[in-house]
Homo-oligomer: A and B are copies of this chain.
Amino acid sequence: MKIILDAMGGDHAPAAAIHAAVWAARDFKLTVQLVGQPEAIKAELAKHDTTGLDLPLVPASEVIEMHEHPATAVKNKKDASMVVAMNLLKTGQGDAVISAGNSGGVLAAALFGLGRIKGIKRPALSVIFPNDSAQGYCLLLDVGANTDVRPEYLLQFALMGHHYASQVLNIPNPRIGLLSTGEEEDKGSMLVQEVTPLLKASQLNFIGNVEGKDVPAGLADVVVTDGFTGNIFIKGAEGVASMIVKALEREIRARPLAMAGALLVRPAFRALKAKLDYREYGGGPLLGVNGVVIIAHGRSDAYAIRNAIRVAQQAAEKNIVGVIERGLSEPAGQPIHEVVGH
Protein backbone atom coordinates (compact mmCIF):
# COMPACT_ATOMS: atom_id res chain seq x y z
CA MET A 1 0.00 0.00 0.00
CA LYS A 2 1.10 3.50 -0.87
CA ILE A 3 0.26 6.29 1.55
CA ILE A 4 0.51 9.93 0.51
CA LEU A 5 1.59 12.21 3.35
CA ASP A 6 1.39 15.98 3.28
CA ALA A 7 4.81 16.54 4.83
CA MET A 8 4.24 20.28 5.24
CA GLY A 9 0.94 20.19 7.14
CA GLY A 10 0.53 20.83 10.85
CA ASP A 11 2.05 22.94 13.59
CA HIS A 12 5.13 20.69 13.82
CA ALA A 13 5.74 20.15 10.12
CA PRO A 14 7.82 18.89 8.55
CA ALA A 15 9.65 17.32 11.54
CA ALA A 16 6.62 15.50 13.00
CA ALA A 17 5.41 14.31 9.58
CA ILE A 18 8.77 12.89 8.55
CA HIS A 19 9.30 11.20 11.90
CA ALA A 20 5.78 9.73 11.58
CA ALA A 21 6.45 8.53 8.04
CA VAL A 22 9.62 6.70 9.09
CA TRP A 23 7.81 5.17 12.06
CA ALA A 24 4.75 4.09 10.08
CA ALA A 25 6.72 2.77 7.11
CA ARG A 26 8.63 0.51 9.49
CA ASP A 27 5.72 -0.54 11.74
CA PHE A 28 3.08 -1.05 9.07
CA LYS A 29 5.27 -2.08 6.10
CA LEU A 30 4.03 0.74 3.91
CA THR A 31 5.35 2.99 1.23
CA VAL A 32 4.90 6.56 2.45
CA GLN A 33 5.21 9.26 -0.18
CA LEU A 34 6.43 12.54 1.28
CA VAL A 35 4.90 15.53 -0.45
CA GLY A 36 6.50 18.91 0.12
CA GLN A 37 9.58 21.08 -0.12
CA PRO A 38 12.51 18.76 -0.95
CA GLU A 39 15.18 20.58 1.05
CA ALA A 40 13.12 20.66 4.23
CA ILE A 41 12.11 17.01 3.84
CA LYS A 42 15.64 15.83 3.12
CA ALA A 43 16.97 17.69 6.14
CA GLU A 44 14.44 15.91 8.37
CA LEU A 45 14.96 12.51 6.73
CA ALA A 46 18.68 12.80 7.45
CA LYS A 47 17.87 12.69 11.17
CA HIS A 48 16.39 9.19 10.93
CA ASP A 49 17.57 5.72 10.01
CA THR A 50 15.59 4.97 6.86
CA THR A 51 17.41 1.79 5.86
CA GLY A 52 15.12 -0.53 3.95
CA LEU A 53 12.19 1.89 4.01
CA ASP A 54 10.34 3.13 0.94
CA LEU A 55 9.89 6.87 1.45
CA PRO A 56 9.78 8.51 -1.98
CA LEU A 57 9.83 12.28 -2.12
CA VAL A 58 7.30 14.15 -4.27
CA PRO A 59 8.24 17.83 -4.65
CA ALA A 60 5.68 20.55 -3.92
CA SER A 61 7.02 24.06 -3.64
CA GLU A 62 4.20 25.77 -1.77
CA VAL A 63 2.60 25.43 1.67
CA ILE A 64 -0.90 26.40 2.76
CA GLU A 65 -0.52 28.01 6.14
CA MET A 66 -2.89 27.54 9.06
CA HIS A 67 -4.27 31.08 8.94
CA GLU A 68 -4.95 31.17 5.18
CA HIS A 69 -8.44 31.26 3.74
CA PRO A 70 -8.91 27.64 2.62
CA ALA A 71 -10.65 27.95 -0.76
CA THR A 72 -8.60 30.94 -1.86
CA ALA A 73 -5.33 29.34 -0.84
CA VAL A 74 -6.14 26.07 -2.63
CA LYS A 75 -7.08 27.95 -5.80
CA ASN A 76 -4.00 30.15 -5.78
CA LYS A 77 -1.35 27.69 -4.64
CA LYS A 78 -1.45 25.01 -7.32
CA ASP A 79 1.82 23.57 -6.10
CA ALA A 80 0.86 23.41 -2.42
CA SER A 81 1.73 20.13 -0.73
CA MET A 82 -1.89 19.22 0.05
CA VAL A 83 -3.00 20.04 -3.49
CA VAL A 84 -0.22 17.93 -4.98
CA ALA A 85 -1.09 15.14 -2.56
CA MET A 86 -4.71 15.08 -3.76
CA ASN A 87 -3.55 14.96 -7.38
CA LEU A 88 -1.42 11.91 -6.61
CA LEU A 89 -4.45 10.20 -5.08
CA LYS A 90 -6.71 11.22 -7.96
CA THR A 91 -4.30 9.84 -10.55
CA GLY A 92 -3.95 6.52 -8.76
CA GLN A 93 -0.42 7.08 -7.54
CA GLY A 94 -1.36 6.25 -3.98
CA ASP A 95 -4.16 4.85 -1.82
CA ALA A 96 -4.83 7.52 0.78
CA VAL A 97 -3.87 11.05 1.76
CA ILE A 98 -3.05 12.24 5.29
CA SER A 99 -2.66 15.87 6.21
CA ALA A 100 -2.38 17.72 9.52
CA GLY A 101 -2.51 21.03 7.67
CA ASN A 102 -5.20 23.74 7.58
CA SER A 103 -8.28 21.49 7.76
CA GLY A 104 -10.44 23.80 5.69
CA GLY A 105 -7.65 23.71 3.12
CA VAL A 106 -7.54 19.92 3.10
CA LEU A 107 -11.32 19.88 2.67
CA ALA A 108 -11.15 22.36 -0.23
CA ALA A 109 -8.21 20.53 -1.83
CA ALA A 110 -10.07 17.23 -1.56
CA LEU A 111 -13.28 18.68 -3.00
CA PHE A 112 -11.48 20.37 -5.91
CA GLY A 113 -9.02 17.54 -6.48
CA LEU A 114 -11.10 14.42 -5.90
CA GLY A 115 -14.70 15.55 -5.99
CA ARG A 116 -17.47 13.84 -4.09
CA ILE A 117 -18.60 10.24 -4.27
CA LYS A 118 -21.43 10.12 -6.81
CA GLY A 119 -24.70 10.87 -5.00
CA ILE A 120 -23.08 12.39 -1.90
CA LYS A 121 -24.27 15.94 -1.41
CA ARG A 122 -21.69 17.05 1.15
CA PRO A 123 -18.62 15.37 2.64
CA ALA A 124 -18.38 15.20 6.42
CA LEU A 125 -15.38 15.30 8.70
CA SER A 126 -15.54 12.62 11.36
CA VAL A 127 -13.57 11.96 14.52
CA ILE A 128 -13.19 9.13 16.96
CA PHE A 129 -14.56 10.40 20.27
CA PRO A 130 -13.74 8.56 23.53
CA ASN A 131 -16.68 7.22 25.51
CA ASP A 132 -17.60 4.92 28.37
CA SER A 133 -18.66 1.97 26.18
CA ALA A 134 -16.96 -1.41 25.89
CA GLN A 135 -15.18 -0.41 22.68
CA GLY A 136 -14.20 2.90 24.29
CA TYR A 137 -15.15 5.30 21.50
CA CYS A 138 -17.75 6.38 18.99
CA LEU A 139 -17.61 8.04 15.60
CA LEU A 140 -18.83 11.65 15.61
CA LEU A 141 -19.63 13.54 12.42
CA ASP A 142 -19.73 16.21 11.05
CA VAL A 143 -17.18 18.14 13.12
CA GLY A 144 -16.57 21.04 10.83
CA ALA A 145 -16.88 20.45 7.10
CA ASN A 146 -20.41 21.92 6.93
CA THR A 147 -21.51 24.65 9.31
CA ASP A 148 -24.95 24.90 7.69
CA VAL A 149 -26.68 21.72 6.60
CA ARG A 150 -29.94 20.33 5.28
CA PRO A 151 -31.78 17.27 6.60
CA GLU A 152 -30.72 15.14 3.63
CA TYR A 153 -27.06 15.88 4.35
CA LEU A 154 -27.46 14.58 7.89
CA LEU A 155 -29.11 11.42 6.57
CA GLN A 156 -26.07 10.88 4.37
CA PHE A 157 -23.71 11.58 7.28
CA ALA A 158 -25.53 8.84 9.19
CA LEU A 159 -25.20 6.48 6.25
CA MET A 160 -21.49 7.19 5.79
CA GLY A 161 -20.94 6.91 9.53
CA HIS A 162 -22.72 3.55 9.54
CA HIS A 163 -20.45 2.20 6.81
CA TYR A 164 -17.27 3.53 8.37
CA ALA A 165 -18.19 2.23 11.83
CA SER A 166 -19.22 -1.20 10.62
CA GLN A 167 -16.54 -1.73 7.94
CA VAL A 168 -13.48 0.05 9.30
CA LEU A 169 -14.11 0.20 13.05
CA ASN A 170 -15.68 -3.28 13.10
CA ILE A 171 -18.75 -2.26 15.10
CA PRO A 172 -21.57 -4.54 13.90
CA ASN A 173 -24.91 -2.80 13.30
CA PRO A 174 -23.73 0.47 14.87
CA ARG A 175 -26.27 2.44 16.89
CA ILE A 176 -26.86 5.78 15.16
CA GLY A 177 -27.78 8.72 17.42
CA LEU A 178 -28.86 12.20 16.37
CA LEU A 179 -27.33 14.87 18.60
CA SER A 180 -30.10 16.97 20.12
CA THR A 181 -31.32 18.76 23.23
CA GLY A 182 -33.45 15.95 24.60
CA GLU A 183 -34.11 12.28 24.07
CA GLU A 184 -37.77 12.77 23.21
CA GLU A 185 -38.61 12.94 19.54
CA ASP A 186 -40.12 16.43 19.79
CA LYS A 187 -36.97 17.90 21.35
CA GLY A 188 -34.43 19.75 19.28
CA SER A 189 -34.10 22.23 16.46
CA MET A 190 -36.25 22.36 13.34
CA LEU A 191 -33.40 20.61 11.54
CA VAL A 192 -33.51 17.73 14.02
CA GLN A 193 -37.28 17.50 13.63
CA GLU A 194 -36.90 17.30 9.86
CA VAL A 195 -34.17 14.69 9.78
CA THR A 196 -35.78 12.34 12.32
CA PRO A 197 -38.39 10.87 9.93
CA LEU A 198 -35.68 10.37 7.30
CA LEU A 199 -33.54 8.42 9.74
CA LYS A 200 -36.50 6.42 10.98
CA ALA A 201 -37.46 5.51 7.43
CA SER A 202 -33.94 4.30 6.66
CA GLN A 203 -32.69 0.83 7.47
CA LEU A 204 -30.05 2.28 9.76
CA ASN A 205 -29.99 1.23 13.40
CA PHE A 206 -31.30 4.65 14.42
CA ILE A 207 -31.74 4.93 18.18
CA GLY A 208 -33.21 8.45 18.17
CA ASN A 209 -31.95 11.62 19.76
CA VAL A 210 -28.91 11.61 22.01
CA GLU A 211 -28.05 14.49 24.34
CA GLY A 212 -24.62 16.01 24.86
CA LYS A 213 -24.04 13.90 27.97
CA ASP A 214 -25.01 10.70 26.15
CA VAL A 215 -22.04 10.93 23.79
CA PRO A 216 -19.30 10.39 26.41
CA ALA A 217 -21.67 8.02 28.23
CA GLY A 218 -21.50 5.77 25.17
CA LEU A 219 -25.16 5.55 24.16
CA ALA A 220 -24.44 5.68 20.42
CA ASP A 221 -21.74 4.24 18.17
CA VAL A 222 -22.21 6.91 15.51
CA VAL A 223 -23.27 10.41 16.53
CA VAL A 224 -24.66 12.54 13.73
CA THR A 225 -24.78 16.33 13.81
CA ASP A 226 -24.07 19.41 11.72
CA GLY A 227 -20.49 20.64 11.47
CA PHE A 228 -21.16 23.74 13.59
CA THR A 229 -22.53 21.87 16.59
CA GLY A 230 -20.08 19.00 16.17
CA ASN A 231 -17.06 21.28 16.03
CA ILE A 232 -18.13 23.20 19.13
CA PHE A 233 -18.91 19.92 20.88
CA ILE A 234 -15.49 18.33 20.34
CA LYS A 235 -13.56 21.50 21.06
CA GLY A 236 -15.65 22.04 24.17
CA ALA A 237 -14.88 18.51 25.32
CA GLU A 238 -11.17 19.08 24.69
CA GLY A 239 -11.29 22.32 26.65
CA VAL A 240 -13.18 20.81 29.56
CA ALA A 241 -10.76 17.88 29.81
CA SER A 242 -7.84 20.27 29.75
CA MET A 243 -9.44 22.52 32.38
CA ILE A 244 -10.04 19.55 34.67
CA VAL A 245 -6.47 18.31 34.38
CA LYS A 246 -5.06 21.79 35.01
CA ALA A 247 -7.32 22.46 37.97
CA LEU A 248 -6.52 19.09 39.50
CA GLU A 249 -2.78 19.66 39.09
CA ARG A 250 -3.15 23.06 40.76
CA GLU A 251 -5.07 21.60 43.69
CA ILE A 252 -2.51 18.80 44.08
CA ARG A 253 0.45 21.18 44.00
CA ALA A 254 -1.14 23.25 46.73
CA ARG A 255 -1.05 20.22 49.09
CA PRO A 256 2.25 18.52 50.01
CA LEU A 257 0.54 15.27 51.04
CA ALA A 258 -1.44 15.23 47.83
CA MET A 259 1.82 15.71 45.94
CA ALA A 260 3.13 12.50 47.50
CA GLY A 261 -0.11 10.72 46.75
CA ALA A 262 -0.06 11.93 43.17
CA LEU A 263 3.19 10.03 42.56
CA LEU A 264 1.38 6.81 43.43
CA VAL A 265 -1.64 7.73 41.36
CA ARG A 266 0.45 8.67 38.34
CA PRO A 267 0.13 5.33 36.49
CA ALA A 268 -3.66 5.62 36.75
CA PHE A 269 -3.48 9.17 35.40
CA ARG A 270 -1.35 7.94 32.50
CA ALA A 271 -3.85 5.23 31.65
CA LEU A 272 -6.64 7.83 31.68
CA LYS A 273 -4.61 10.18 29.53
CA ALA A 274 -4.01 7.43 26.98
CA LYS A 275 -7.73 6.76 26.85
CA LEU A 276 -8.56 10.42 26.20
CA ASP A 277 -5.60 10.99 23.89
CA TYR A 278 -6.74 12.08 20.45
CA ARG A 279 -3.37 10.91 19.17
CA GLU A 280 -4.33 7.25 19.52
CA TYR A 281 -6.54 7.56 16.45
CA GLY A 282 -4.45 10.26 14.88
CA GLY A 283 -7.02 11.66 12.55
CA GLY A 284 -10.54 11.57 11.30
CA PRO A 285 -11.66 10.42 7.87
CA LEU A 286 -13.16 13.00 5.55
CA LEU A 287 -16.09 10.88 4.41
CA GLY A 288 -17.86 11.45 1.10
CA VAL A 289 -14.98 12.62 -1.03
CA ASN A 290 -13.85 10.38 -3.82
CA GLY A 291 -10.77 8.98 -2.09
CA VAL A 292 -9.45 8.13 1.36
CA VAL A 293 -8.48 11.38 3.09
CA ILE A 294 -7.55 11.53 6.76
CA ILE A 295 -7.38 14.91 8.44
CA ALA A 296 -5.11 14.97 11.48
CA HIS A 297 -5.21 17.53 14.29
CA GLY A 298 -3.16 20.64 13.52
CA ARG A 299 -1.04 20.15 16.61
CA SER A 300 -0.33 16.49 15.85
CA ASP A 301 3.02 15.14 16.90
CA ALA A 302 4.79 12.24 15.18
CA TYR A 303 2.86 9.64 17.18
CA ALA A 304 -0.50 11.13 16.17
CA ILE A 305 0.47 11.27 12.49
CA ARG A 306 1.85 7.73 12.64
CA ASN A 307 -1.54 6.59 13.90
CA ALA A 308 -3.37 8.67 11.30
CA ILE A 309 -1.37 6.75 8.69
CA ARG A 310 -2.62 3.49 10.24
CA VAL A 311 -6.21 4.81 10.09
CA ALA A 312 -5.70 5.70 6.43
CA GLN A 313 -4.32 2.24 5.71
CA GLN A 314 -7.35 0.56 7.31
CA ALA A 315 -9.84 2.79 5.48
CA ALA A 316 -8.10 2.10 2.17
CA GLU A 317 -7.87 -1.65 2.81
CA LYS A 318 -11.60 -1.76 3.56
CA ASN A 319 -12.27 0.34 0.46
CA ILE A 320 -14.49 2.74 2.37
CA VAL A 321 -15.12 4.80 -0.76
CA GLY A 322 -16.48 1.78 -2.61
CA VAL A 323 -18.54 0.71 0.40
CA ILE A 324 -20.19 4.13 0.67
CA GLU A 325 -20.76 4.20 -3.09
CA ARG A 326 -22.46 0.80 -3.01
CA GLY A 327 -24.49 1.81 0.07
CA LEU A 328 -25.90 4.77 -1.83
CA SER A 329 -26.92 2.68 -4.82
CA GLU A 330 -28.97 0.19 -2.78
CA PRO A 331 -32.76 0.41 -3.36
CA ALA A 332 -34.32 3.43 -1.66
CA GLY A 333 -35.28 2.80 1.94
CA GLN A 334 -33.04 -0.26 2.03
CA PRO A 335 -29.63 1.31 1.89
CA ILE A 336 -27.95 -0.93 4.46
CA HIS A 337 -27.73 -4.49 3.25
CA GLU A 338 -25.99 -5.76 6.37
CA VAL A 339 -28.78 -4.70 8.71
CA VAL A 340 -31.59 -7.16 9.30
CA GLY A 341 -33.93 -4.71 10.98
CA HIS A 342 -34.42 -3.71 14.57
* Chain A residues proximal to chain B, CB less than 8 Å: 67, 69, 130-132, 144, 147-148, 179-181, 184, 186, 188-190, 192, 211-217, 225, 227-229, 231-244, 246-248, 251-252, 254-255, 257-258, 260-269, 271-272, 275-276
Contact = CB atoms under 8 A, between A and B. Distances in A.
Given A147-B181, A181-B147, A236 B252 contact: no
B212 A237 contact: yes
Nearest to A213: B239
A70 B300 CA distance: 46
B233 A217 contact: no
B213 A235 contact: yes
A144 B181 contact: yes
A212 B241 contact: no
What is the oligomeric copy number?
2
Nearest to A219: B239
A306 B260 CA distance: 36
Given A217-B239, A237-B236, A275-B247, A212 B189 contact: no
A248 B232 contact: no
Nearest to A238: B213
Contact of A244 (B255, B260, B263, B276): B276
A196 B255 CA distance: 45
Most chain B CB inside 10 Å of its own CB: which residue of A216, A233, A260, A266: A216
A240 B237 contact: yes
Contacts of A264: 257-258, 260-262, 264
Contact of A251 (B211, B244, B252, B272): B272
Given A190-B148, A212-B231, A232-B211, A268 B251 contact: yes
Contacts of A189: 147-148, 228
B248 A233 contact: no
Kindly list the 7 A-B residue pairs having the minimum CB-CB distance in the complex, ordered from nearest.
A261-B264, A212-B235, A213-B239, A212-B236, A251-B268, A216-B243, A216-B239
Contact of A240 (B211, B216, B260, B265): B216
Most chain B CB inside 10 Å of its own CB: which residue of A131, A232, A238, A248: A232
A257 B264 CA distance: 6
A224 B10 CA distance: 30
A235 to B, nearest CB: 3
B213 A242 contact: yes
A268 B275 contact: no
Most chain B CB inside 10 Å of its own CB: which residue of A215, A251, A268, A272: A268
B186 A212 contact: no
B265 A243 contact: no
Contacts of A130: 243
Nearest to A147: B189
Most chain B CB inside 10 Å of its own CB: which residue of A148, A186, A214, A240: A240
A272 B244 contact: yes
Given A190-B148, A212-B234, A241 B239 contact: no
B232 A179 contact: yes
A211 B235 contact: yes
Nearest to A179: B232
B212 A238 contact: yes
